[in-house]
Amino acid sequence: MSVSLLHMIENRLAAHRPARPWLRPLMKRSAVALVLQVREGELHILMIKRAEREGDPWSGHMAFPGGRMDPGDAHGYAVALRETREEVGLDLARQGRCIGRLSDLNARPHRGTFGMAVSPFVFRVDRSVHFQLNYEVAEVVWVPLEFLLDNANRDTMRWQRNRITLNMPCYHFGKYRIWGLSLAMLDELMDLIEAGSQRRRSWRRR
């Protein structure tokens, strides 16, 4: 079942037309890698728990390997490869295969006008991998797709900044909370799996 699910995802990504912000040429750029692997008969997605670091707005959050584009990066795909190799020691150019991409998301900045376009690239890895974490990553976590696809596992959280308080969707996977931009990327992937379900889209910010 998990192998057929992976093949279905691959086929639907091939036909998918990801959205891009029309101001993308003026935005800062970053990219992440969503890595899929069948593990013990079940399809999983790789996530990381970011290390607690002062000044990092995503400190301690659940995320995907990735980061900002450097001057030497030719494109977003190169960023996803480089950052995954640097953060967790996984060389996706040799050990994985890119099967598609999802829509760019706008990570709104604390300062600046146009924001940052985050480009998610989806990979499959078919061999066992060993991780070497750098100082930015506290843990790697394999999350079952079946857990995320079960709407009964969906939860909400209260997000607060200054005087603004919002109820936000999330998942609690053991001791880990998955929300924000990472959840928006997962939602698009799950929408593809469920052939265009609309139930997860209303909260996203492009």
- Domains along the chain? 2-149 (3.90.79.10)
Report pTM: 0.91
pLDDT of residue 196: 60
pLDDT of residue 89: 98
Tens digit of pLDDT per residue, the chain (206 long)? 688 999 999 999 999 999 998 888 889 999 999 999 999 999 999 999 999 877 666 678 999 999 999 999 999 999 999 999 999 999 999 999 999 999 999 987 555 578 899 999 999 999 999 999 999 999 999 999 999 999 999 999 987 777 777 889 999 999 999 999 999 999 999 999 998 655 555 545 44
DSSP string for residues in the chain: -HHHHHHHHHHHHHH------TTGGGSEEEEEEEEEEEETTEEEEEEEEEP--TT-TTTT-EE-SEEEPPTT--SHHHHHHHHHHHHH---HHHH-EEEEE---EEE--SS-SS-EEEEEEEEE--S-------TTEEEEEEEEHHHHH-GGGEEEEEEEETTEEEEEEEEEETTEEE-HHHHHHHHHHHHHHTTS--TT-TT---
pLDDT of residue 25: 84
Alpha-carbon distance 185 to 47, whole Å?
Answer: 12
pLDDT of residue 158: 85
pLDDT of residue 141: 98
